[in-house]
Amino acid sequence: MSLSALAQAPIGIAIHGGAGTIERGNLSKAQETAIRSALSDAIEAGHQVLTDGGSSLDAVVAAVRILEDAPEFNAGRGAVLTHDGTVEMDASIMDGASLAAGAVASVAGIRHPIEAARAVMTDSPHVMLVSDGATAFAETIGLEFKDPDWFITEFRAEQLRAVQARQDASVQLSEDWFSTVGAVALDGDGNLAAATSTGGMTNKRWGRVGDSPIIGAGTYADNRACAVSATGHGEFFIRHVVAYDICARIRHAGLDLAESADAVVNGVLVKAGGDGGVIAIDAQGNIAMPFNTEGMYRAAIDAAGRKTIAIYGDD
């Protein structure tokens, strides 16, 4: 690509921090400020990678790393707690140019699970590693680990106590808030990438894993269509292969990005009873961020350099 073409090539990035039941007034001013600040820091970090000529893969990792360190979100530090009061994290990443992908599930102690997912993609012959095996792999390649207490916040501990105090806690299948984090990006070479990271579901048991580390369900990227990162009730996103479906409708049904994302999020998922949303970007730099809940933490910087940070449905 010539320098003039490179200068004109569109770049863009979008991130999310979860979707669910959230209305104005539910957050304190301090909480909202902290959330918007973290979203701003993450989107700026990812966009800086792109403006410096970096890859979409580097951009989504840079953005997700910041969200994994922010205790306001359910990923990395601040992840929700399992039935036993521990943290089990999932993450995945996909390269739209090659369709290479990597994922980890039910991991503990890894400061940035998204880095572990990328290492599975680049440094192993596999797509997904789980639990102790994924942890051992992360150790062999020198990823950073933290003690268990580093991940646990008092907010998450209280959240678990409240859930377990309910009579239906043992059979709870859903939550009002799905605070997965994720990023999608288009770089100056025209390559797409998607990344997703989560602590899963509060009070989860038996090694439950949702859609976030599953390629095609919570994460998908294909230069021929789009890149998608999802957040929502994972069981529904798995059953309906949401991220792949959005890309497939663009490739095979001729829909544009907005039409395809809306058809799946506000059509397929709503009909099935699944709550959540997605962020998506296509090869032209168009961005879509639909959700069927009352709010979704989200931010974007589009091909024109316009920055958006939003929480509520009417933002």
Predicted local confidence at residue 308, as pLDDT: 97
Secondary structure (3-state) at 311: strand
Predicted local confidence at residue 171, as pLDDT: 42
Distance CA 106, CA 129 (A): 9
**What is this structure's pTM?**
0.94
Kindly provide the b/e burial profile for residues 209-229, where b requires at least 16 CB atoms within 10 angstroms of the residue's own CB. bbbbbbbbbbbbbbbebbbbb
Whether 297 and 16 have beta carbons less than 8 Å apart is answered as: yes
Nearest-CA neighbor of 177 among 77, 103, 80, 269?
Answer: 80
Whether 143 and 110 have beta carbons less than 8 Å apart is answered as: yes
φ/ψ of 225, rounded to 5, equals: -145, -80
Predicted local confidence at residue 130, as pLDDT: 98
CB atoms within 10 A of CB 130: 16
Between the alpha carbon of residue 294 and those of residues 35, 104, 178, the distances in Å are 17, 30, 12
Angle at 76 (CA atoms; ends 27, 114), nearest 5 degrees: 125
> Which segments of the chain does DSSP mark as H helices, in order?
3-8, 29-51, 56-69, 113-123, 131-140, 148-151, 154-164, 234-239, 242-253, 257-263, 269-272
Single-letter residue type at 287? I
DSSP labels for 40-63?
HHHHHHHHHHHHTT--HHHHHHHH
Predicted local confidence at residue 174, as pLDDT: 44
Per-residue pLDDT of the chain (315 residues; tens, 9 = 90+): 444 444 568 999 999 998 875 667 677 888 899 999 999 999 999 999 999 999 999 999 999 999 999 999 999 999 999 999 999 999 999 999 999 999 999 999 999 999 999 999 999 999 999 999 999 999 999 999 999 999 999 989 998 998 888 755 554 444 555 579 999 999 999 999 999 999 999 899 999 999 999 999 999 999 999 999 999 999 999 999 999 999 999 999 999 999 999 999 999 999 999 999 999 999 999 999 999 998 999 999 999 999 999 999 888
Whether 132 and 116 have beta carbons less than 8 Å apart is answered as: no
**Catalytic residue status for 180:** yes
Which residue in 82, 180, 231, 293 is the catalytic one?
A: 180
Nearest-CA neighbor of 46 among 294, 257, 279, 242?
Answer: 279
Predicted local confidence at residue 175, as pLDDT: 52
Query: Which own/partner pairs from 305-311 qualify as long-range (CB within 8 Å, at least 24 positions apart)?
Result: 307/43, 309/36, 309/39, 309/40, 309/43, 311/22, 311/27, 311/32, 311/35, 311/36
